[in-house]
């Protein structure tokens, strides 16, 4: 018999984001003067995102054994959603505007989170088709900037 307690596990990992102890990565998101710093754990980032796996391999630790990553071209709000997804496997879309979710799809692809990006694409196509039609030129242009957005392209 297999017992599954994935919700509790997810919740515990999300609590790590608010824990000021034992982190070993600082991620600065945004551009001056609007930079927000996030504390994270390299093991979780590396195993949940190929982007961070590669990025962390090329960052040198400081005197406190902490690695720092700067992400200037990402919105803080998008990164918060991405980080919660990486840690907890959860992405609650009810709180966001459709345009935010559309842009989040591209951010998910940038962080090589293919599962999340595909789910966001599917969600938009199935739940927000009128928005996609209304913003067709934007959807068309942006979807062809990323070769992986096959569903949007179709």
User: For the chain, which domains are there?
Assistant: 1-74 (3.30.710.10), 91-154 (no CATH)
Mean pLDDT of 66-73: 94
Report the share of the chain in percent with pLDDT over 70. Answer: 91
pLDDT in tens, 102-141: 999 999 999 999 999 999 999 999 999 899 888 887 877 7
Q: How far is residue 53's CA from residue 58's CA, in Å, rounded to a whole number? A: 9
Which one is predicted more confidently, 18 or 149?
A: 18
pTM above threshold 0.95: no
């Amino acid at each position: 018999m297999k017992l599954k307690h994935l919700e509790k596990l997810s919740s515990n990992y999300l609590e790590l984001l608010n824990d000021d102890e034992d982190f070993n990565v600082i991620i600065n998101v945004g551009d001056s003067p609007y930079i927000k710093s996030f504390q994270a754990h390299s093991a979780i980032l590396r195993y949940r995102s190929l982007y961070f796996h590669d990025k962390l391999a090329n960052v040198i630790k400081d005197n406190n054994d902490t690695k720092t990553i700067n992400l200037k071209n990402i919105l803080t709000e998008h990164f918060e959603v991405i980080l919660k997804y990486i840690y907890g496997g959860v992405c609650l879309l009810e709180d966001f505007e459709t345009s935010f979710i559309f842009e989040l799809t591209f951010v998910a692809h940038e962080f090589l989170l293919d599962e999340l990006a595909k789910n966001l694409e599917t969600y938009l196509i199935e739940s927000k088709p009128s928005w996609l039609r209304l913003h067709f030129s934007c959807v068309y242009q942006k979807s062809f900037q990323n070769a992986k957005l096959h569903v949007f392209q179709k």
